Amino acid sequence: MDLTTTASTMRAVTQDVAGPPAVLRLVSTPRPVPGRGEILVRVRAAGVNPADWKTRQRGVFPDGTPSPFTLGFDVAGVVAEVGDGVTLFRVGDAVFGMPRFPHVAGAYAEYVAAPARHFAPSPRGLTPVEAGALPLAALTAWQALVDTADVRPGNRVLIHAAAGGVGHLAVQIAKARGAYVIGTAGATKHDLLRDLGVDEPIDYRTQDFAETVRDVDVVLDSLGGAHWSRSLRTIRPGGTLVTIIPPDADFPTAEAEARGVRAVFMLVEPDHAGLREIASLVESGRLRVLVDEVFPLAEAGRAHARGETGRTTGKLVLSVAP
């Protein structure tokens, strides 16, 4: 396949104002040019994440950039151009990554230019759609459980929303680290949780995890609010609560200190080394990504509407190119 790029424009999904999914529109826009230390990736698939629809609703990027902008952080594709000084990749290499987060990456597009070390070789054996579903959610789980909480063999780990985008990957990463995993989800998803490796499924609709779970070493929280204080009740002294929800006035810093628990907010970062670790887990059969539904690029708004229902299992993905 000839990957030489000659066109000066590309298709991308953009928004001019904050609002519902209908504000997303497909446009023709200038194709980016890779700078020094960057690669240009021909995007084949782009994951859809809660960060995307929350940004769309606000009309402001996490770094403060106002609309208009192109959403999206998860990228899987093929290197189309290599910027000056790049030695990691060559034209034609299959790559995946989460470039520039929390700054504008523009993954809902046919091309993305970003620093080479925000990418890694795509895991062997994965389709572009599967690879595009991985970066943000898998890096979030990896950086929370491994880099932040240092999960070790024998640790007891509680993962909220364990069948969700981050949750289902966190379950498998914790198991690969030798942990005993407790996961919350509706009863209809418990068979899936067990298949992923959950040792103790909790039905959040009928069971109060704060009353039944004890002596946990690590809690990974993706829900926030009342779950923060309730999660502290499950953690042994010396344990860790990691939340990926930005703290507000309800974040129980003082209560955690009184209990001898470390409570921290973690913001995921682009991470070449982490991506390589994730790819290794995939290639060894210890990590698989669940794709709930795939949408064409032009139907990004429909993908957002589906995601906002909160009823997905695994990830939503945009298919950008064959």
Q: Residues 195-240: pLDDT tens digits?
A: 999 999 999 999 999 999 999 999 999 999 999 999 999 999 999 9
% of the chain surpassing 90 pLDDT: 96
Q: 302: exposed, middle or buried (C-beta count within 10 Å: 0-12, 13-18, 19+)?
A: middle
Task: Examine the pLDDT at 300 and tell me if it is beyond 90.
Answer: yes
Tell me if 177 sits within 8 A of 153, measured CB to CB. Answer: yes
Give Cα 172 to chain centroid, integer Å: 14
Give the count of beta carbons closer than 10 Å to the beta carbon of residue 23: 18
Q: Do 9-134+289-319 and 137-265 have matching folds?
A: no
Please write the tens of the pLDDT for every residue from 126-142. Answer: 999 999 999 999 999 99
0.85 exceeded by the pTM? yes
Average pLDDT on 228-256 reads: 96
At 315, the pLDDT band (50, 70, 90 cuts) reads very high
Question: What per-residue confidence (pLDDT) applies to 1?
Answer: 37
Please write the tens of the pLDDT for every residue from 87-99. Answer: 999 999 999 999 9
Average pLDDT on 47-51 reads: 96
Q: How far apart are CA 154 and CA 137, in angstroms?
A: 24
At 70, the pLDDT band (50, 70, 90 cuts) reads very high
Question: What per-residue confidence (pLDDT) applies to 5?
Answer: 43
CATH architecture of 137-265: 3-Layer(aba) Sandwich (3.40)
Element (H, E) at 79: strand 75-82
310 vs 206: which has the higher pLDDT: 206
Q: How far apart are CA 298 and CA 172, in angstroms?
A: 32
3-state SS assignment for residue 223: coil
Please write the tens of the pLDDT for every residue from 115-126. Answer: 999 999 999 999
Domain segments of the chain as ranges: 9-134+289-319, 137-265
Task: Examine the pLDDT at 86 and tell me if it is beyond 50.
Answer: yes
Tell me if 261 sits within 8 A of 239, measured CB to CB. Answer: yes
Domain 9-134+289-319 CATH class label: alpha beta
Q: How far apart are CA 181 and CA 200, in angstroms?
A: 7
Question: What per-residue confidence (pLDDT) applies to 3?
Answer: 41
